[in-house]
Structure 1
Amino acid sequence: MPHAPLTTLSEIVPPLLAWYRANARDLPWRKTRDSYRVWVSEIMLQQTRVAAVLGYYQRFLSAFPSVEALAHAPEERLMKLWEGLGYYSRARNLQSAARTVATDLGGEFPDTYEGLLALPGVGDYTASAVASASFGRREPAVDGNVLRVFTRLTDCHGDIADPKTKKSIREQIEPIMPIEPEDIRVFNQAFMELGAVVCVPGGPPKCDVCPLADSCLGRRLGTAESLPVKSPKKARRVEEKTVFLFSRSGKIALRKRPSDGLLAGLWEFPNADGTLDEAAAGAQSILWGLTPSAWNQRLTAKHIFSHVEWHMTGYVLEVSGDGPGDFFWADGPELEKRAIPSAFARFLSEAKILLGEKGTEKNLEGGTSPWA
C-alpha cells in the first residue's frame, strides 16, 4: 500500500514522542536534568559512540562529581581519565568551561542557549542539547542523527556539510517543537534516538520499525538510502613515524608533547619523523645520547585521526644513558599515572609487558644490537 506524503512536519510529533517513551535506550545521562551531568555527557558523546562513552562517563563523574571538582582537578588526572576517548581538546575545554562556571557564574550553568554557547568548547548543538534537556528550552538539538532523519523524512537534498543547510533544518524543526518542558526534552532525545537506532547511517534505514514511515517522503520516493547528501571529505594526510620503546633499569622513556597542536600536552614514546631502518634507528638513539645494548622487537602500527593517518614503525630497545632533558623514565606505577593517547596503544601494551615482571624488562625475542 503506498504511503501518503508528508503534509506538515507537525504530524510527526505525537508518534515520535510515543515511540521514544516506549523504546528509548536506558542511558544514565537521560535520568538526570542536572546541567553538569548532561553537559559532561554531551561533550563526551561528540564524535564518539555511546558504547564507548558509558564507562568513561561513570568514572569521570565518580572522580569529579561537581563542576567545582572538575574546575580544580589536576590536569594530569583529568587527561588520564580521558585517555582513550580521543579529541583531547574536549577535555581541556571542559575544564576551562568548568572554571568559568565555578568562578564567574557561582557554580550555576547558564540556563539559556546564548549563555551556554558562550562557554569554551560549547557549540550550537551542545548549547541546544543542554538548554533543552536541563532547562526545557525550545532549542532544536541538531546533530548528525537529526540531519539524517530530517533529510530522509523531507527528501531534502541539501549538503549537510553546508552550514546553510543545517541552519535551514534547525529553523524548520523549531516551530514544531512541543511547548511543555518535559515534551521538549523528549522531542530532542527522540529525534536523535531515531537516527541512532532506526534511521541509521552506513546502511539502509529500518523503515519497517520506524514510527514515521507513513510520513517519510524519502521512503515514498525511494531516495532514503541516498540521503543525506554530504560533500566528500578531503583525503587524510599520511605521516610516517618511527617510535622507540627505550627500556633502562626497569623504566621506559616517555616525553611530553608540545602544549599546542595534535595531542597537545599528552605523553608519548620518543619518536622521529619518517620510517627509519635499523641502522638509522640506532643512529637516532645515539643522537639522543643513548647507547643500545639489546634489540628486542620490531613493531608496526597505524592510527587514524580525522585529518591525518600515522603509519608507525617501532623498535623495542634496551639502552644505557639518560637521553635528552625532556625524557622521563617511568616505572610501571608512573606509566599508569600518565595519559598516553590511543595512537600509541600498540606501544603502550608492549611497555606494560616490559615492565610487568617486578619492573624488570622482559627480553621478548632476545638478540643483540644490530649496531654493536
Structure 2
Amino acid sequence: MSGSRVVIVGAGHAGGTAAALLRQYGYEGAITLIGDEPIPPYQRPPLSKAWLKGEADADSLALKPIEFYAEAGIDFRPSVTVTALDRGAKTVALSDGASLVYDHLILATGARAIALPIEGKDLAGILFLRTAADAEALKAQVGPGKTLVVVGGGYIGLEVAASGRALGAAVTVVEREARLLARVACEQLSDFFQARHEAEGVGFVLGATVTGFEGADGRVSGVRLDDGRLLACDAVVVGVGAAPNDELAKSAGLECARGVVVDLDARSVTDPAVFAIGDVACRPMPIYDRMFRMESVPNALEQAKQAASAITGRPRPAGECPWQWSDQYDVKLQIAGYAFEVDQIITRGDPASGRFALFHLQGDRVQAVEAINSPPEFMMGKTLILNRTPVDKAKLANPSISMKEVAA
C-alpha cells in the first residue's frame, strides 16, 4: 500500500475529511488533495450564519490547520481543478498543466448553486452562498440601511434572511411555492418558521416567480415578479437549490443519476478504483430501500469514512441515520431521516412554546423527525429511524412520557 496513490478531487468537507481519515486509518501511500478554492477545507454551514455576522473566518472554520497537510504528508493543491479524467490510464489532468496517476480516485466535487436563467442574471450584486468567497461578498453588501431580497424560501434562504436581519438589513424572501420549505418540510414547520421570521421583521412574498432582475450602472437594483411588481434592493441572494458537479464523472463514463452512483462503500458502481462522496454522490439508503443524493455535513463525513475504510481494508462502518440541522435566531432545528411515504404526522409538544417535534410515521415506524429546540426527541428519533423500531403513537404524542420510555 505504501507505493500506491490516492487522488482526491475536491477539498470541501468530504474531501478534506477523507484525506485526514486515510492517514488516521494507516494509509501509507501518497495522498493528493485538489481544491478549486485558495484555502484549505473548512466548515460550510456557518457561512450563512457566523461568517455573515463576523463571528467566524477561514482560520476558525478550517477543518485542520494548514500545517496539518504537510505534516501528514498530504499534497494539498489549492486553486486547481481537474480538467480531464482518463479511467483507462488512471490519470487526471489538472488546470495548471500537471497530470497525476492514481490507484484510487475519490470524487468529492460537491454541488453548485443553481442560477436563474432570466434577464439581468449577470448584474453585480446577485449573489449565491456556497463558498467562503460568496459569504465574504455578501457580508460586504448587507447592513443597516441596506435592502436584501432572498430568492428561495428553503433553509439556506431562511438562514441568510436571519443573518441579514441580525446585521440590520431589511429583508424580503420571495418563494415560488405557496409556503416556505415546501419541498423539504411539512406545513406546520413552514408556518412556524414564517411566523418566527415575521416577528423579526422579515417580509415574505409567496406564490411568486422571479422573472427578471433590473439594474443601474451594471448593478442590481430590483427584482421583477411575474405579477409585475418590482422589489427594490441593494443585493440579491439566490437560493433555489443546487446541482451536483458530476460533469467530470459523466465525461469519463461513470454511471450518474443526478450524482455519481455508488455502493455502500462509496465506490462507483462503474469503476472499482473510483469513489464519490458528499454532495456529488447518489448513494444507497438502506433504511428506505432507495438511492438518494444528500446534501449535508453528516452525509459527507459518513461517506468519507466509507471510502477511507474501503481503501485501507477496514470493515465497512455501521450504517447511520441521515440527519441535518438549521440555526435561525434562537431556533435550532434538527432533522433526522427523510419523510418518504408518510401517512401520519404526530406533534409532540406545543409549537407556541418554541419547543416541539414533528414525527413523520409510516404505520407505526418513524420515517423522520423535525425537532425544534428538542434534543431528546431528535436523538431518540434517530435511533427509532435507524433501528426501524415500532412505536406506541399515544406515548409518542404525550410529552410527559420520556423519549427513552417511548423508544423502549
TM-score (norm 2): 0.24
Q: Which has the higher strand share?
A: 2
RCO higher in 1 or 2 (8 Å CA, sep ≥ 6)? 1
Q: Which has the higher helix share?
A: 1
Q: Name which one, 1 or 2, has greater alpha-carbon Rg.
A: 1
TM-score (norm 1): 0.26
